[in-house]
Amino acid sequence: MLTKDKVYEITRQIPRGKVATYKQIATLAGNSKGARFVGTCMRTNPDAPHTPCHRVVGSDGAFHGYSAGNGIPTKIDMLREEGVQFKNGKVDLKSSQWQLN
């Protein structure tokens, strides 16, 4: 069952310098169709930065919002600072997508 607690637990596992997609987190949390729910959880994250919602991006590496600082530019700056790789204005998922071991 997809719950906020499970989504936040998985999100806290994403290491510095890596990202996960909304769908990836939904799938790991038990419902591959729950990407929008994951987005809602990220938007209402009560425990940032301990739960690093800035490390969650779209399935194509695109940015779909960020509520802290100056929004998406802040998210991009934070990811760059962590070493996430970009290509054509999106996260390069081939090099920066987190894989749960």
Domains for the chain: give ranges and CATH numbers.
Answer: 4-96 (1.10.10.10)
Amino acid at 75: K
Q: How confident is the model at residue 66 (pLDDT cuts 50, 70, 90)?
A: confident
Name which of 13-17, 76-80, 87-91, 97-101 the model is least confident about: 97-101
101, pLDDT greater than 70: no
* Mean pLDDT within 65-74: 86
| Active centre residues (catalytic) | 53
d(CA 70, CA 28): 30
pTM score of the predicted model: 0.94
Alpha-helical runs (H) found in the chain: 4-11, 22-28, 35-43, 72-82, 93-96
